[in-house]
Structure 1
């Protein structure tokens, strides 16, 4: 069996300034594993949930924390801590220029509408922001080696990013903010399934190797020893929703809902391709939606970290841009409690620059 476990999580649903970001992360193994198993399988990884002897654990350069982004992005040097544990995973897709825009172009599943606005244009922002490139390179290699030693493969994460002007357009069209994470599902789920849709065969010595995609398989193609491919997708509840059977057919075109179970907290859905190739073993997709998924599933925690890190890159640039326009301006995280103060402080500069309210602030 070729087994893929995929986690999806978002950052920026509640704020009224800055982007909404949703990310998908996948791990592949030869056999299924429990959602929390990577915390035990991967050497040097921690989730900070079980401090040794009741004391806070200090993570060394050799250690890696994968946890709910809220655990990492808090207190002094919040961005530095988040970057320390998140950027090493993203480093292979950053490119030699180390420009943030290159990373966004490679990870984003759609065009980021509004990215040319100066307050959002990250083209010249180089990564890392808070650490030396040499440190992140060393940590990236350790993360890669730790995953390999655990028998896990991590392909390119994917992201879905909406800036305020596009968020406002979607809310005006759909009538509700809860449409944002559903759109994220619609973009990320098919994209990640397509990226990982590979049958796996074994060679003469029983070693696992990728064969070919479903689309390229034909009845008269040379056949390796095929095994079924299985996906398990885990995510938190979407804003304003507790049941998902009605929306999944629209999210996953080409997949058929075969069975589902919906409870007050946990929902499970089993799907299969509507028209699988005759030469292929039947693929299966199980979707599990549960509260606080980032505390129960490694892949969801990592998706949470990536979403938060990308959002914070935008907010770093946003605050720096406006501080150049308004000397002495206090930065903002974009949440309602502080956003009104920030918007008041930049009102004169915004009028001078001719930036419409819809470009700056979300309607909800």
Structure 2
């Protein structure tokens, strides 16, 4: 288990719910808004779309209502280059909906997802052809909170040791307190995360779950088993911890239009680096570059800088990277 360990190059499968999303345009309080923009929002599909942007072949597995919102979600995710042919349309259940409310200290999100089509997902998905052919399966801590069958899906994906399955598993903790009214989140998410091969977690959510004074090294003590642990500290830095050492890369500074989706974008950039033989530092940089793409737009999915500019950023010295302020050029 070394820093050089990574999934074999190949297709990725992202599993989880995606909802229709409404947000005031331009960003303002819902009480004052006169226009709501319709988009899509889902941690796993966000990752899938950004992976496709990076040229990684990716399939999104989920279920949607056979309704206008569901068809809009399917069309949007598919248009980004993600394979959506395995998404199930459910005529008996609806597509989940969220409404974003920008506020002075961030964005409040209102969810309308109880009983959604995606809540019926279960471990049968793991027998599908895309999973059998995948080099990496990406999951988040949102899915196990949606229903017992969704929790079983994630649990079973992690039950088989790496040497006995054909794919590696990445797990983004993605803690959503509102989804855990029974207060089991602390133990369930720790157990699931500690069985994954690659784990991504925000320092703030780790502190909320497992201890207010945690540092990245303290998170490693909580989660000792993942081969690669990435701790994201917002606008400060991201730290990757492996058995070979600790790698830290400062975040890029940028004007933030809307923060929701940036963590998913970071995950996609980092995983794209892992899948394309980037160094650990380059993979962390690619995570930051992709996160900025999300921070600059009101939607969860924004445009990446072109390949030439991404390569220039990846080639900067540590000192040049630390003072970089020309992301868009």
TM-score, normalised by the number of residues in structure 2: 0.29
Q: Which has the higher contact order (CA 8 A, sep 6+)?
A: 1
Greater radius of gyration (CA): 1
